[in-house]
Structure 1
Amino acid sequence: MRVFLQQDETANVFAKQLLDIGNNKVAVDTSTGFITLSTDFCHITHSKEELIQRVFPDIPQKFNNDNWLGERAILAAKNKGVEDLNATIQNFLPGQLVSFKSVDTVINQDDVINYLPEFSNSLELSRLQPHNLQLKTGSVVMMLCNINQPRLCNGTRLVVKKLMNNVIEATIIKGKYKGEEVLIPRIPMISTDLPFDFKRLQFPLRLVFAMTINKSQGQSLEVCGINLEFPCFAH
């Protein structure tokens, strides 16, 4: 982990604390296997609701501020925790929730009888767009593939500005092209992670008010919440 805290006198202390944890220099409770973080390491919250309020305070009033949205996110260990957090945070935004459902097609026609559309619609894979993508104007989303490098590539974060049937207008909120407005179409993506291949036609986007720790690699955040509801290394 690389941490850059410019003009912050506590940066050296925080960096040393991270190294001590990584180098196993922090005492471990033998009965639980857990460590106790020092009081100056981070702010501990006692519920997901409090965590959301700490990271996204007054979001119904501030969601129009792209800079404010771009500097914060909540990280979690599992996709399930991320999905719940994203749905909860998005509900704070004003406006109507719009659902975009994908069109799923089994590529090998011999498999059509074995894998009905209802089954493929139920598949939720981390590398694939969700079947039922629910968005509002002001939602923070991330690109899941490269469609216009280097402007629109996997990992680019954007804020939704306008929702239409076959195209979404959004503004890039991080990186070299920050502030640029782009149009994102529905595109087909083929999954090869299953015993059969199928194609999903959907917007290549996923909500990222919250994201997995793995997906956060390469992102720059000024305000970062971490949801440790589920143990990170349970496997």
Structure 2
Amino acid sequence: MRLAVQTEDPDVQAEAGAFGRWVLSIGNGTIPAMARQGESDPTWISIPSEHLVHTDGPKIPAIVDVVYVDFLQRYSDPNYLKERAILTPTNDLAMDINDHVLSLVPGEEREYLSCDSTGNSADEARNIDVFYPTEVLNTIKVNNFPYHKLVLKKGVPIMLLRNISQAAGLCNGTRLIVTRLAEKLIEAVVMAGSNIGDIVYIPRICLTVRDPKWPFTLHRRQFPIRISYAMTVNKSQGQTLAAVGLYLKTPVFTHGQFYVAVSRVTSKKALQILIENEDGTCGSETRNIVFSEIFESLANK
């Protein structure tokens, strides 16, 4: 956990301790949970009201307003941007949030399109270009892989999706802020880590990915980055943040995912959660998935 208490006030310390125990109970699976109708496993937990965001209007603007306070005055401030993020279970939802926040940033945008092609196709998959034209390849979205269309503005925070130079601190997960958009390079400043403040240049690179359901390997030449106002919970691992908004349009879907999200914060007040029910209303219950067999096997070793 990343909780930090910078005072000797016993009340503040007690509050941080209670919050820390709540977070640990989520990770250990000991928090009280219940099963909904038709379910055998109790996975649904109640979230304290102090962490909940409620709105009768659009959900994305609501969670953005809570996390990115005074955004238009500080949208290009690295110290402001590096300490906050909105987390979601899925890439598609993170992309929707990033698109919304990008629309709020002043200035002209620049669009970068990837060059997609196929390779190493199976022998039986003939006429691969007929069945998988470039237009189809452009629509493919893969986890931890850049999209075909990348839209950026100066002052936008981005995250690297590949290791480029460990010596320069350009590793998978590094967050930067865009300072200049050229045709073949993106200039950015490192926002955190041992190389904070360094000016770096990110080139387009050729990336490959293969999926069992495809009879080919996808080759995509694109900048290995993604806008990082919002990111998936899995991608947030390793991040320490002073303001976290967790938008659960759908519940988490794998072991420990909810714990990872709530344990990114440095204080209790830094965590805000918006839970969207199936009917579009804001709720107070969500799913916490913990495979207790993992802890049991570790205890028996």
Q: TM-score, normalised by structure 2?
A: 0.72
Cα 1:27–1:196 shift into 2, 3 Å? closer
Query: What pairs with 1:108-147 in structure 2 (closer than 5 Å)?
Result: 108=120, 111-147=128-164
SS of aligned partner of 1:91: helix
CA distance in 2, matches of 1:105, 1:27: 48
SS of aligned partner of 2:131: coil
Query: What pairs with 1:13-92 in structure 2 (closer than 5 Å)?
Result: 13-21=18-26, 22-28=28-34, 30=36, 34-40=44-50, 42-46=51-55, 47-92=59-104
Amino acid at match of 1:215: K
Equivalent of 1:154, from 160, 167, 172? 172
The answer to which structure has the higher helix fraction is: 2
Structure 1: runs of 5 or more not aligned: none
How many corresponding residue pairs? 233
**Alpha-carbon deviation of 1:30?**
4.9
Aligned to 2:262: none
- Percent identity over the alignment is 34
CA distance in 2, matches of 1:154, 1:58: 29
**Alpha-carbon deviation of 1:222?**
1.1
Query: 1:130-166 CA deviation, whole Å, 9 max, x = no partner?
Result: 1000111111111111111141111110111111110
User: Is the CA contact 2:22–2:31 (under 8 Å) kept in the aligned structure 1?
Assistant: no
Matched, 1:232 2:252: yes
**Alpha-carbon deviation of 1:191?**
1.1
Structure 2: runs of 5 or more not aligned: 7-11, 254-286, 290-301
Aligned to 2:2: 3
Aligned to 1:199: 219
**Alpha-carbon deviation of 1:28?**
3.0
Amino acid at match of 1:80: D
Greater C-alpha Rg: 2
Query: 1:82-133 CA deviation, whole Å, 9 max, x = no partner?
Result: 1110000111100112110001121247633332111111111112211000
Moved more, 122-131 or 154-163: 122-131
Cα 1:95–1:28 shift into 2, 3 Å? same
Matched, 1:104 2:116: yes
SS of aligned partner of 1:99: strand
Moved more, 119-128 or 67-76: 119-128
**Alpha-carbon deviation of 1:195?**
3.0
Q: TM-score, normalised by structure 1?
A: 0.91
